[in-house]
Amino acid sequence: MTWQATILTLFPEMFPGPLGFSLSGRALQEQVWRADAMNIRDFARDKHRSVDDTPAGGGAGMVLRPNVAAAAIDAARAQFSNLPAIYLTPRGKPLTQMRVRELSAGPGAILFCGRFEGLDERVIEARLLEEISVGDYVLSGGELAAMILIDACVRLLPGVIGSESSLNEESFEQGLLEYPHYTRPRVWEGREIPEILLGGDHARIMKWRREKSEELTAVRRPDLLKDKDASIEKS
């Protein structure tokens, strides 16, 4: 089954963009996944094809009009009724590896890329859009966020990664950040590969890697350890 990404955007020419290269690009050519970019402006009905208007209550910027946005979403759902509809927005729930795995295991997703000040709230409510954020920062639009989500999902599709076992040791898969990696030469600019990695004792290597993952996570992302402890207590 081909994983379907349907992107609703004011700039369809941005796709596939970077997704047309490397692993995702090869998978796209092999039809492991498919990208269809639909222009939101095509659903505007006035002579100027306007897609936005001033915010109710005043304020800076413009807001995507509900009738135009809803028409685009409805058209996408008419073609792909089995896909979840996602709105990429800084105020959404943070995208996690767990959610990425859930999405990659499904048939795909409809991704609405916001622009300006965002999307009229009534559309989000009426069309039951799932709001997702790719980080605590603001982009010019949702297109780059959509690319991040798509790339994260595509690389998990069967056959895309050469060694699928390597996926199990990546950051976030075990609730931890990934351990440090090294390769030849053995000594570089006076810095040596840790001796434990050169001895061939796989049990000791696994233990070392686990310890390093825990150390890195404790320093850089202690919130992950708290989440993990909370999950254990609930179970």
Q: How far apart are CA 129 and CA 123, in angstroms?
A: 8
d(CA 216, CA 111): 33
Torsion 74-78-79-84 (CA) sign? positive
CATH architecture of 165-234: Orthogonal Bundle (1.10)
Closest CA to 6 of 74, 91, 66, 64: 74
pTM of the prediction? 0.90
Query: What per-residue confidence (pLDDT) applies to 229?
Result: 65
Give domain limits for the chain: 3-154, 165-234
Element (H, E) at 15: none
Q: How far apart are CA 16 and CA 187, in angstroms?
A: 41
How do residues 87-97 score in pLDDT, each as one tens digit? 999 999 999 99
Structure tokens that stand for 49 in this block = 């094809």
Per-residue pLDDT, 172: 73
Please classify residue 61 by burial: count the beta carbons closer than 10 Å to its beta carbon, then call 0-12 exposed, 13-18 middle and 19+ buried: exposed
Over the stretch 22-41, which tens digit does the pLDDT of each residue have? 999 999 999 999 999 999 99
CATH no. of 3-154 = 3.40.1280.10
Within 8 A by CB and 6+ apart from 226, the residues are: none
Report the C-alpha gap between 9 and 18 in whole angstroms.
16
Q: What is the pLDDT along the chain (235 residues), one digit of tens a residue?
A: 899 999 999 999 999 999 999 999 999 999 999 999 999 999 999 889 999 999 999 999 999 999 999 999 999 999 999 999 999 999 999 999 999 999 999 999 999 999 999 999 999 999 999 999 999 999 999 999 999 999 999 999 999 997 665 666 666 777 899 999 999 999 999 999 999 999 999 999 999 999 999 999 999 999 999 876 666 555 5
Check residue 175 and give its pLDDT: 86
CB-side neighbour CA atoms (13 Å) of 86: 29
Residue 5 host element (H or E): strand 3-9
Is the dihedral angle over the CA atoms 108, 36, 92, 173 positive or is it negative? Answer: positive
